[in-house]
Amino acid sequence: MRRAPKRDILHGNILEQTMLFMFPVFTGYLLQQVYGFVDNIILGRFVGKEALAAVGGSANSIININLNCIAGLTSASMVLLAQAYGRGNMDRVNRLVRNAMSVAIIIGAFLGVLMISTSSLTLSLMKEPLDNIPLSKTYMYFYGAALVPYFIYQNGVSILRALGDSKRPVLFILITAVFKIMFDLLFAGVLKIGVIGTSLATFLSYFLTAALVLLVFKHTVDSYHYSLKDFSIDKENTKKMMSIGIPFAIQNMMFAIPNALIQAKVNEFGTDAIAAYAAYNSVDALFWCFSNSVHTSTITMAGQNYGKGDIKRVRKITATSVMIETIGATLFGLAFYFFAPNLLGLFLVDPETLSIGVRMLRVVAVSYITYMIIEPFGAVFKACGMTRAPLYMTMISVCLSRIIYIYCFPMTDVIRVIFAYPLSWIITAVLYFIYFHASRKLKV
């Protein structure tokens, strides 16, 4: 297998390389959010706040638990591939790619069946309003069926990024966005089949993009070649992937599970609060597009340099990522605070619901700055294979703190529920800072 020419991130100016790598990654995440925007705009403005609440409420929280699990496993593949690529071991790169894609098919199918079979139970546990349950279950059924193609598509994107290719992932994401918007407008906009149309659009967009990813990987002569004929599970690589991926997945789910509990608390305040929360999440996701792009870029750059053994450069990459995250958190926070009514007005027409959403967004927007070290430090921990301590810290700072806050303190207003986010970020930032500076792996 030959090595395709890709950006050299083992040498040169770190800030320039980070920005050049990060920009297409951010563009990709932004495109992914665009079709979420289209979903919620169509549902909120043209179908009704009940449809927006059904899709953007409990169903979305449950789906996010599964997507966070998948994200953890793809991060493990990304770390292993980046380290192998940094060492120049192309045979190992190819073995890792084949194993990662095969594992994606199996785990995607398992998660899909699990989500579909437990949909009634999970929606009931989250106290979803009875009127919303049929629409929420419809959305979960279609998304469950889409988890295999989604995992294949995300794995393909992560593999290319791990090898230093940040451009073609954007093309895959752009194609997905075009498919999603096109099908959304057709099924929900023209044919007026509401939540079923949005759900079907999601499934078809992931299925077609996954097919395209497999086609590209099949016809490449590079180290990431993969065909369904190559389907096989390598015990050693799977064990290594899971030893890193399971802690990553659990760590990601430590964000998603308490978020689902927060959603359950929001549900207690009725459909207006649920719809406002769904709209707030759509706008808030724009910041996470930026933050996740910092995270992804840092994993690739730190992972390759760690694989090479250049710890000094890893620390410089960390400092650069913290600076970028700080600037982005400040700019997004200010923009969302002052333009909250305009942004949320894209989704909400009811004045009371809009007012709730604005207050939610402003509380969180002014707190983004507390996240300035969490994403960069978390990415470096992953890139260096540091799994256990960050997992335990996340369990305490995110999962436990949010659960204690929302169940041990009176939640007399839906805005009080939202304070769970900045509270947990502050605790996480403190723990990550201490661990980063105490870690032996990151000593020069």
**What is the DSSP annotation of 329-360?**
HHHHHHHHHHHHHHHHTTT--SHHHHHHHHHH
Under 8 Å between Cβ of 375 and 295: yes
pLDDT of residue 223: 78
Under 8 Å between Cβ of 314 and 384: yes
Query: For 183, what's the count of Cα atoms within 13 Å in the CB-facing half-sphere?
Result: 22
The two three-digit tokens of residue 393, written as one number? 């810290």
Q: Is residue 162 one of the residues assigned to a domain?
A: yes
Write down the residue that tokens 């597009």 correspond to: 289
Q: Is residue 181 one of the residues assigned to a domain?
A: yes
Query: For 402, what's the count of Cα atoms within 13 Å in the CB-facing half-sphere?
Result: 26
C-alpha–C-alpha distance, residues 341 and 409, integer Å: 29
pLDDT of residue 210: 93
C-alpha–C-alpha distance, residues 413 and 416, integer Å: 5
C-alpha–C-alpha distance, residues 360 and 354, integer Å: 10
Point out which residues pair with 222 in neighbouring strands: 2
Q: How far is CA 312 from CA 69, 160, 433, 441, in A?
A: 31, 25, 18, 11
pLDDT of residue 362: 96
Residue 343, classified by CB atoms within 10 Å of its CB into exposed (0-12), middle (13-18) or buried (19+), is buried
C-alpha–C-alpha distance, residues 302 and 9, integer Å: 9
The two three-digit tokens of residue 394, written as one number? 């996340």
The DSSP symbol for 371 reads G
pLDDT of residue 3: 45
Q: 164 Cβ partners below 8 Å, 6+ apart?
A: 6, 7, 8, 9, 21, 85, 300, 304
Residues 402, 403, 405, 410, CA torsion sign: positive
pLDDT of residue 335: 97
Q: 97 Cβ partners below 8 Å, 6+ apart?
A: 81, 159, 217, 223, 224, 225, 226
Q: Is residue 7 one of the residues assigned to a domain?
A: no
pLDDT of residue 28: 78
Q: Is residue 6 one of the residues assigned to a domain?
A: no
Q: How far is CA 38 from CA 41, 104, 171, 193, in A?
A: 5, 28, 19, 15
pLDDT tens for the chain, 444 residues: list them.
Answer: 444 445 566 677 888 888 888 888 888 788 777 766 676 677 666 666 667 666 766 787 888 888 888 888 888 888 888 788 877 788 888 888 888 888 889 999 999 999 999 988 988 888 777 777 888 888 899 999 999 999 999 888 888 888 877 788 888 888 888 888 888 888 876 777 877 888 898 899 999 999 999 998 888 878 788 888 878 888 888 888 888 888 878 877 877 788 888 888 998 888 888 889 888 988 998 999 999 899 888 988 888 888 878 888 888 999 999 999 999 999 999 999 999 999 999 888 888 999 999 999 999 999 999 989 998 998 888 888 787 788 788 888 888 899 899 989 988 889 999 999 999 999 999 999 998 888 877 776
Q: 24 Cβ partners below 8 Å, 6+ apart?
A: 166, 167, 169, 170
> Of the candidates 181, 147, 160, which has an alpha carbon nearest to the alpha carbon of residue 78?
160
C-alpha–C-alpha distance, residues 172 and 242, integer Å: 26
pLDDT of residue 174: 86
C-alpha–C-alpha distance, residues 393 and 362, integer Å: 27
Number of domains, the chain: 1
C-alpha–C-alpha distance, residues 319 and 14, integer Å: 10
pLDDT of residue 44: 65
Q: Is residue 443 one of the residues assigned to a domain?
A: no
Q: 123 Cβ partners below 8 Å, 6+ apart?
A: 58, 59, 62, 133, 136, 137, 140
Q: Is residue 4 one of the residues assigned to a domain?
A: no
Secondary structure element (H or E) that encloses residue 424, with its range: helix 420-438
C-alpha–C-alpha distance, residues 241 and 102, integer Å: 12
Write down the residue that tokens 């808030």 correspond to: 284
pLDDT of residue 106: 93
Range of the domain at 250: 14-438
Point out which residues pair with 2 in neighbouring strands: 222
Q: Is residue 9 one of the residues assigned to a domain?
A: no
pLDDT of residue 5: 42
Q: Is residue 8 one of the residues assigned to a domain?
A: no
C-alpha–C-alpha distance, residues 59 and 51, integer Å: 11
pLDDT of residue 54: 64
pLDDT of residue 2: 43
